[in-house]
Every structure is written in C-alpha cells, then in structure tokens.
Structure 1
Amino acid sequence: MGLASSIKPGADADAASRARRRTVRERLNDREARRLIVGVVATLLGGIFWGFSGTSASYLFAHYQIDTIWLLSIRQLLAGAMFMVVIVLFDRARFIQLLKNPRNLATMAVFTAFGVFGNSFFYLLAIRLTNAGTATVMQCLQLVIIMVYTCIVTHRLPRRRELAGVVLAFAGAFLIATGGDPTTLVIPPAGLAVGLISAIGAACMSIVPTKILPIYGSSIVTGSAMFVSGLVISAFVRPWENVPAFDAPGWLALAILIVVGSFLAYNLYMQGVKDIGSVRASLIGTVEPVSATVTSALVLGTVFAPTDLIGFALIIAMVFLTV
C-alpha cells in the first residue's frame, strides 16, 4: 500500500505533463490549420480579383473613348497611392531605409521600368487588342521565361517536367493564336506580340527584385514602384485634364480595376504567399485566367472557340508542371 501511494503522484504528474503537451500540440495544429485556410482563401480571392481587373479594363475599352496609357496612369497613380498610405502608416522605417540605399534604389528603377510599367502597360494593351481571358492566359507564359532564366543562372538543364511544361505552353499559345490552323492568325499579330511582351514584363517583376524583397517586403517594393510609375506617366499624360465621360457603370468598372483588381488583389495574394508559401500560392493563383475568362464571357459576352479553351487548359497545366 505504501509502495502504491509513492508511485501514484509521479504517474499522475507524467499523465498531466503528457496531457499538457497534447493540448499544446492540438492548439498548434489548430492554429496551423487556420493559417492554411486563411492563406488558401486569400490567395484564391487574390487570383479571382486579378481576373476582375482584366475584365474591368476590357469593359472600359469597349464602352468608352479611353486611351490605354490614360487608364494605366490613373490605375498606377491611385492604386500606388493606396499602397503608399499603408506603407507610411505601418512600414515607414523600412521605406526610409530603402530611400537611403542608392544600390537598391537602382534596382528599384529597373524593376519599375521593366517590371511594373512594362508588364502593366503591355497587359492592358493585350486586353485592348484581344480580350481579358486571352491576355491573362498569355501572361502566364512568364513561368517559361523564369524557368529558362533559372536554368541559365544555375547552369543546369531543364528537368523533364519543365520541358513538358514548355511543350504545353507553346502548344497552348499556338492554339490561341491560330485556332489550330498554322496558316492563319485568329488574334491580331500585334495582340500576340504585346501579350508575349507582357509575359516578359511579368517575368521581370519576379526576377529583378529578388535580392531586395526579403529586405523591404513586397508591399514596399511593388507599391512604391507602382506609385512612382504612376507619377512619371501622369507627368506626361496629365490624366486629370482629359477624364473620359464615364457614367455610373464606367466609374464602377474603374473602381473595381483600381481597388479590387489592383490594390486588394495584390495584398490578398501576398498574404497567401506568406501563409501557404509561393509554390502553393502559384498553383492556386492559376484561378486568375479562369476568373478573367469566365467574367469576360459573362459580363462582356466574349465568345471563346473550343481551341481557345483547350489552349487555356494547356497553359494552366504548364503552370502546375513548372512551379
């Protein structure tokens, strides 16, 4: 009896310790599960909202006398200003640190010119010359460019799945451009050209700022680049002097483009990258061309041929193989 009483307190203590550890693990697992759910939802919404931006731009081009460069200037200026408000309120110290570093400012200048401006301008131009779904899918070809760049920099050959992704990408682009008939182009040659240039710009957005993103964060790098490009373009375009005659639907489409399709889409997507990682976010982000295609068909009545849809599917499959 005395022996049993001497063992029992220790056993109870061990059981209590195991229970506490189990409770801590369960809490951590619950927290991780909630984080993953939030990340997936944020990434999904970010991709969907990016698709909205393409459809909004397409609607504005179709119904109003609006220049591509005017739309770009007002979008970059206002969305960039929203980013700057967030930066000044919550991340001022790192932004000031960036302004004091000439080398990183030089990187920012290249990123702003060839990444943010190059991608945004040619993407809007591709929408104008083709449609939102086609322009958004063609922009996904950036992953092929990034893959080739990575192979060159790391001195390695493409892996088999990467080569398969390249084949799918070219097959998808071929179907979209020709409808399966190599003797004809079903989209304007200029639309094909600017769509490919927008993919180059999108690749620059991923490649150029790789060294400064970990230092300053994505909001500062991309947000300030967007705002600066908006200021520079607006100095020449003066968008406030020739505002199109928008009615209520026009102002709504512009607001969706700026607030939902630019500011919110980017913030939500980057929250997803933070919570679930860039690979998962890239895969979920393939909802963007789907969103652009579906909303373009529903809102604008855009008709896509079967070869277009097959081409879209091949390029989206390429994303899964190359990320």
Structure 2
Amino acid sequence: MTASDLTDEAARDEALREEALRARIHQEMADSLHEELELELDDVRLDELDHDGAVGLPSIDRKFYFRELLRLQGELVKLQDWVQHEKKKVVVLFEGRDSAGKGGVIKRITQRLNPRVCRIAALPAPNERERTQWYFQRYVSHLPAGGEIVLFDRSWYNRAGVEKVMGFCTDEQYEEFFNSVPEFERMLIRSGTILLKYWFSITDEEQAFRFSMRIRDPLKQWKLSPMDVEARTRWELYTKAKETMLERTHLADSPWWIVDAVDKKRARLNCISHLLSQIPYQQVAHQPVVLPPRVRNPDYHRGPIPPEMYVPGQY
C-alpha cells in the first residue's frame, strides 16, 4: 500500500468518524425535543379519551406551537442567564381554579432551565405549627435569593380563594390578609424582587370537561383530590372570591394578569411570552467553553464490576 493509499484511507476513516459524530449529535438533540413531544402526546391521549369534549376555538397549529414554544424556551434560557449574572430575584405566582392549566405552563417554563436557578414552590396544606405562624411566614422561606427564579404553583393567595370558600380561615383572618398583602408585596418589590401574578381563567364547561377526563384517565386521577371535587359544587362562591381578590389586590406596583386558559397551547405561549416581556433581561456574553483533553494515568487500571451489580437489561 502506497503512502497515497494510506492518506486516502485515513481521510475516509476521519470522514466516517465525523459522520458518526453528526448522527450522534442529531440523536441527542432529537432526544431533548422528545421530552416536549411526550408531554404533548400526553395531552393528546387525555383529549382522545372522550371525543365529545368541550367545543371552542380551533386548536393552534401543532408545528407553529412547537416552533414558538422552543423559541420562547430559548428566550427563557437567556432570562435565566441574565438573572444569574445580575443576581436578580424573580417571583412568579400562578393562580386559578383547579385544572386551569397552571401546572402545564410551569412545566414548559422549567423544562429547559437549571432547577438550581428556577425552582417550583408548591406548598402542601399547612401543618399544626404553621397554622399558628404569621400567615406569610411559610412562604417567605421559599422566596429567591439573588440569581434565582421561584414559580409559586399557588401562593399566599390561597387565603383569598380556597381558605375563604372552604371555611379554613376566619373572617378576621380573611380581612387581615387583604390589609397585609399589599404591603407584603411592596416590601418584596422594594427589596429588589421582580413580582408577577397570573390568574388562569377557564369556563365552567371547560373545567367540567377536564375533571371528567381526569376521572376516566388512571394516569391523571391522582390530580383530582376530594377538595377539587367539592370545589365543583362551589363554583359561584369561588367566582365571588376571585372577583373580590382581583378587586382588592390588583395594585399599580403588583397587578394581576389574566390568562385565557381554555385553549392550553395558546395559554402556554401567551403566558410565557408575556412573562418575558415584563422583565428587562438581556443576553449575557459567555466565554467559549473549550473541553480540555482527557488526562490519562498509565498506572490506573479500572477494576471489574460484578455482573450482579448491573440493572437487568429488560429493554
């Protein structure tokens, strides 16, 4: 074999390696996108359980939805970088009736972000000790430090909604909440916290449809608690409580934003787009990352791993 032949063979080998690497990169990117596809297929599966579902506006085009969602998620990554770089504190409250779609939006926001930077606060019912604390005390411990984003899946506004309607607070506690919450939120804002408040709005018919889907879907039944079922009988009481809450806490420095959430996909895009528009973030310049060469120690020999330690390969 001549020197020319060896050169040609080396070039072919290099081309094959580059092709294999491109295929691997493509597969990794596709796997990343499949996470969103799985979430989307889960929605489709839920909707297809009942073909007589709620009738409304035609659903948004799926290709457009995915393009926009991925674009917005890219902007969320830029927002995350800016929050870290500038040591900003961001709090976003997500409120609304049960099954209004808050969780779906929160999933799409956090899907491609660092959980150490952007985290979810979804507090359970207060325990006996917490019920004797200052009402806002247990929420304060979940507030962000500099360089963090916290998404509250329900928040201190529980008192103005669930607790009022279900009789979990006294009239005096209810009134004290409205007296305290404006100053509490102003304190957060004065401390440098960016505060956004979203209410997800759905119709009576849409909630009934979504509840019926959860009842019929074994993978979703855990989402339907006894309190959720009870809430259906108190729709008008929840409406009145919501109206009072919005009237008394829609403040100039911490306003409410209403998300029309009957169409889940539109609600997600609209909410994320609006959230991004409310924060004056900028793209942060980063130094290029250079992967250093692997250091090899000739004296190191990897020991064998016993076969019984491996997880059985069933798939």
Q: TM-score, normalised by structure 2?
A: 0.27
When you count helix as a share of all residues, which structure comes out higher? 1
Richer in strand (by share): 2
Bigger Rg, structure 1 or 2: 2
The structure, 1 or 2, with the larger RCO (C-alpha pairs under 8 Å, 6+ apart) is 1
If the length of structure 1 is used for normalisation, what is the TM-score?
A: 0.26
